[in-house]
Structure 1
Amino acid sequence: MLILFLDNFRGKANGDSMNKQSINKIKVFLMGLQGRFLENSSIFKNIIVTYTAGLKEFKGIGSFEDEKIRYNFNGKTEVLDITNTLNKIANDSENYETVTILYKERGTDIVITGDNKNVKMINTEVKEGPLVSAKEDDGTSTHGFSETSTLLNRDYYIKADRADALLKEIGIMSKEGKIKNDKIRKYNQIDHYVELLEGVLDSLPKNEIITVLDCGCGKSYLTFVLNYYLTEVKKRKCHFIGIDISEGVIESSKKMAENLGYRNMEFHAIDIKKYRPNKKVHVVISLHACDTATDMAIAMGIKLACDCIIAVPCCQRDILNQYSYQPFKGILKYGILKARMADVLTDGMRSMLLEAKGFNVSVVEYISPLETPKNLMIRALKTSKEKDSVMDEYISLMSSLNVYPALYRFLNEGWEV
C-alpha cells in the first residue's frame, strides 16, 4: 500500500494560506498523478508548480532523472521519488494562497489549481501552434513540387499542429513550423503508413505494454512516428526496440530518441540472428529490409509467437536466382518479366507461409507505384493455430517452382530465439 502524504501540514497563522480542506483535495488529485507516474513513467515530461503569496510567485520545476524527479524549488534541488516529490508539493502548498500544478506527459497536460475557495483539475490534450504550409512561406523553401507532393485534403492521423516536435526531428517540418515543400510527399507517406496500421493497432492486446520490435530499423523514422501515434494519440502503453547491424544508424536513432524525450525506446547494433529479446514482443516490423533480411524479420516474428508482423519488402533476389516453371518458359526468357514474377512469388509465398503458421494475412498497396515499384505491405495478425493444409500447398508449390525460400529455411534451421 502506498503512503503518499504526511498528515501534519504547516499552516500560516495569518490565515492567508490555503485551508486544510483545500489541501486535502489537492492531496487527492496528487494521488492520481502518482498513480499515472507509477503506471507509465516513460511518458512523463516534467512538473511545474507555481505558488502565489500576495503579488509574488514562487516556482518549482521537476524533471525526470533515473526513475526519480529532480525537483528545484526556492534555490534548492533535490532528487526524490515520485511519492516524496508530490508529498513536498502538498506540504509546500499550505504556505501559500494559491497553487497551480502543471503535470506534463507526452500528448497530455494535467493542471491542478487550488485556493481557499476551490480546487479543480483539468486534463487536456497538448496542441501546439497552427500549421503553416510550405506553400504559404516566404519563398525560402524548395519549390516546384509535383501534384503528388501536395498536402492532401484529408484528416491526417499525424497532425502537424500537434506532432511538430516529431516532424522537426525527422526533418519534415522546418524550425519555423512549416511542412517543407520537398518533404510533403514524405509527410503523406508516413501518414498513410499509420492509416494502414490503424486497424492492426486496435486489435493488439489491451491493458498490456505493447512491445514493438523493428528489425533492420535504419534511422527509424516510421518507428518514431508509430511511437508518437500509439503513445500520444491512442494513449497506449508501449515500448519500442530497434535493431540494426549498423552502429552509425543506431547511434543516430538513440540521439533522436533523446532529443524527443522518448524514453520508451531502446536501440541495439546487433545482427538479428544474435538478438534475444528479454520481454514479450507483440509486433515485429520490417521496413524496406533488403532481400532475405525481410525473411529473417518475419521468421523472428513467427518464432517469437508475436501477435502481429508488418513487412514492407524490398530487393527480392532469393527466389529470382532459383525458380523455374516450364509452362512459363516462353515468358520467363524476358529478364524484366522474370524479375517481376519473382517479386510476386516471393511475397506471395511469404504470405502463404504466414497463413500456414496461423496468421490472417493481407497484402496492400503501401504507396503509389508512381513513387516506387516496391510498394507492397504485408500485414499479418495471429488468429489461429497452424494450418496443415496450407503448409501442404506451400510445400507443393516449392516443388513445382524448384525453390527453397529463405523464410522456410530460417524457420527450419537451428535458430532459436
Structure 2
Amino acid sequence: MNSKNIGKLKLFMMGIESRFAENNDTFKEIVVTYKAGLKEFVGRGAYEEGKIKFNFSGVTKVKTIKEVVSSILEEAEKYEAVNFIYRERGTDILITADNKNVTMKNVKVKEEEKETKKIHFTEGTSTLLNRSYYIKVGEADEVLKAIDIMTKDGKVKNDKIRKYNQIDHYVELLDPMFEKLAQKGNLTILDCGCGKSYLSFVLNYYLTEVKKIKCNFIGIDIKESVIETSKAMAESLGYRNMEFYAMDIKEFKSRKKINVVLSLHACDTATDMALAYGIKEEAEAIVAVPCCHKELLSQYSYEPLKSILKYGVLKARMADVLTDGLRGTLLEAKGYDVSIVEYISPLETPKNLMIRAVKIKDEDYKAMDNYMSMMAALNVYPALYGFLNEWEYEE
C-alpha cells in the first residue's frame, strides 16, 4: 500500500490507541485482514490484563495496544489492502484502506439481524406484553441467556417471561433517570444485596451497549456463593466494568464516588441500610424495591386509629405504608426528589413498590422537623434514621 495512505491509516489507528487507553473495559477483540490479490491473511487480538493477546501468521504474543498498532501498520505496507475491525460492546469500528482510499465508520453490531429478529418461545402459552421492549431479543441475547431468560438456541423460556417483563420494566422506569445522570461522565453504580446481580447485568448491557453511557458496577452481598456466581457470569460475558465483594455494606468503603445506589428486594431493614448508605455517600440517585416490612409493625401506635388498627391484617398493611412513606419522607428531608411507584402488578406480588430518589438540593431542615414529628406521633424509631445516626456518629 502506498505511503500516503499508510499515513492516513496511521492517523485513524492513533484514535484506536486512545480509545483503548481511555476505556478498555468495553473492548472485545481486534480483527485485521490483509489482502494481496485473492489471498487474505487474518490476525486476531483479544483482551488480556490490560494488553492484547494478538495472533498473526501462527505466532501469538501479548502486546500493548501501541505495539499492536505499530505491527499492523508495519505489516500493512506489504499488502494491497487492509480491513481492520475494532470490536467493543455494542459497536464495531471498521477501518478499510487500500491504494485509493482510507475510510473509518462505526457500525452498531448485528444491525441487520436486529431489525429482522422476532421473538420465539419455548413450548407453551406466551404472556409477553404488547409493548416495545428496552431489552430487545436479538440485541440482548447474550445477557438474556446468561441470566437464564433465554435458551441457548435463542428462545425466550415461557416460565421466565414474567421475569423478562419485570426486568424490562425496571429498565424502563430507570431510563429517564440515567438519561439525566449521563452528563456526569463515568457513573459508578452500587448494587446493595446484589444476589446473583441479574438486574445489574441487564442494566450494564443497556447503559453500555444501548445508551453508550460509561459506567462501572459494584455488587455487595453477604453471601459468598452468590458473589462467586456473579463474578463467573461477569467473566463469561466479558463485563470487565463490574466488581463484586462478599461483605456487609457497613464495612464497604469505595475508592470511587458512588453515583447511584440500587437495592432490589433486600429483606426488611437491609433496604434501610442501602438507603442510608446512599444518603451518607450523597449519591446522585437511590433506587430501592423493598421486600418484607417487619420492623414498624411491632413499634407503631396511633390513638385516633385505634379502633381500626385492632384488626391485625389492617395494622400490618398500614405498617407497610408507614415504612415506605417514612423512607420517602426522610429521603426528601435529605435533599432528594422522591417518587414511589408500582414496579410490577400487585396481582403478582403485594411487595411491588419502587422508591426512586434523585438528589436535587442540600438537607431540608423544615422537612426534617416534619419527619421527627411523625416519628413522635407514631411512637417509632425507623431503622433508616438509626443507620444514618450510627454512621454519622462513627464519622
Q: In 1, distance between residues paired with 2:336 and 2:157?
A: 39
| 1:189 matched to 2:166 | yes
> What residue in structure 2 maps to residue 223 of structure 1?
200
- 8 Å CA contact 2:120–2:154 kept in 1: the answer is no
Q: In 2, distance between residues paired with 1:57 and 1:321?
A: 75
The aligned amino acid for 1:361 is: V
TM-score (norm 1): 0.91
Deviation at 1:132, TM superposition (A): 4.1
The equivalences for 1:40-59 within 5 A come to 40-59=23-42
Q: In 1, distance between residues paired with 2:182 and 2:173?
A: 18
> What residue in structure 2 maps to residue 143 of structure 1?
124
Superimposed CA distance per residue, residues 292-340 of structure 1 (whole angstroms, 9 cap, x where no aligned partner): 0000000000111110000000101111121011111111111111111
The aligned amino acid for 1:230 is: L
- 8 Å CA contact 2:182–2:213 kept in 1: the answer is no
Q: In 2, distance between residues paired with 1:103 and 1:86?
A: 11
| 1:304 matched to 2:281 | yes
Identity of aligned residues (%): 63
> What residue in structure 2 maps to residue 322 of structure 1?
299
**What SS does the corresponding residue of 1:413 show, helix, strand or coil?**
helix
Task: Give ranges in structure 1 of 5+ residues lacking alignment.
Answer: 1-17, 136-140
| 1:37 matched to 2:20 | yes
| 1:249 matched to 2:249 | no
The aligned amino acid for 2:267 is: C
**What SS does the corresponding residue of 2:21 show, helix, strand or coil?**
helix
- Aligned positions, number: 391
Superimposed CA distance per residue, residues 86-116 of structure 1 (whole angstroms, 9 cap, x where no aligned partner): 1111111111111111110000011111111
> What residue in structure 1 maps to residue 99 of structure 2?
116
| 1:359 matched to 2:343 | no
**What SS does the corresponding residue of 2:82 show, helix, strand or coil?**
strand
Aligned-CA RMSD value: 1.3
Q: In 1, distance between residues paired with 2:391 and 2:329?
A: 22
- 8 Å CA contact 2:34–2:40 kept in 1: the answer is yes
C-alpha change, 1:207 and 1:355, in structure 2 (3 Å) is closer
> What residue in structure 2 maps to residue 94 of structure 1?
77
- Higher-helix-fraction structure: 2
Deviates most, 49-58 or 342-351: 49-58
> What residue in structure 2 maps to residue 412 of structure 1?
389
Q: In 1, distance between residues paired with 2:125 and 2:75?
A: 58
Q: In 1, distance between residues paired with 2:310 and 2:177?
A: 40
| 1:332 matched to 2:295 | no
Q: In 2, distance between residues paired with 1:338 and 1:207?
A: 43
Deviates most, 33-42 or 374-383: 33-42
Task: Give ranges in structure 2 of 5+ residues lacking alignment.
Answer: none
- 8 Å CA contact 1:212–1:239 kept in 2: the answer is yes
Deviation at 1:134, TM superposition (A): 3.6
- The partner residue of 1:173 within 150, 154, 164 is 150
**What SS does the corresponding residue of 1:320 show, helix, strand or coil?**
helix
Deviation at 1:207, TM superposition (A): 5.2
Q: In 2, distance between residues paired with 1:106 and 1:153?
A: 28
> What residue in structure 2 maps to residue 84 of structure 1?
67
Q: In 2, distance between residues paired with 1:154 and 1:101?
A: 38
Q: In 2, distance between residues paired with 1:104 and 1:47?
A: 6
- 8 Å CA contact 2:189–2:216 kept in 1: the answer is yes
The equivalences for 1:145-160 within 5 A come to 150-160=127-137
C-alpha change, 1:160 and 1:343, in structure 2 (3 Å) is same
Q: In 2, distance between residues paired with 1:408 and 1:195?
A: 30
Deviation at 1:246, TM superposition (A): 0.3
Q: In 2, distance between residues paired with 1:319 and 1:75?
A: 68
Q: In 2, distance between residues paired with 1:372 and 1:254?
A: 29
> What residue in structure 2 maps to residue 103 of structure 1?
86
Q: In 2, distance between residues paired with 1:134 and 1:337?
A: 44
Superimposed CA distance per residue, residues 210-241 of structure 1 (whole angstroms, 9 cap, x where no aligned partner): 00000000010001011011100110110000
TM-score (norm 2): 0.96
Q: In 2, distance between residues paired with 1:202 and 1:132?
A: 28
Superimposed CA distance per residue, residues 162-194 of structure 1 (whole angstroms, 9 cap, x where no aligned partner): 111000100111111111122121111111101
- 8 Å CA contact 1:247–1:269 kept in 2: the answer is yes
- 8 Å CA contact 1:134–1:181 kept in 2: the answer is no
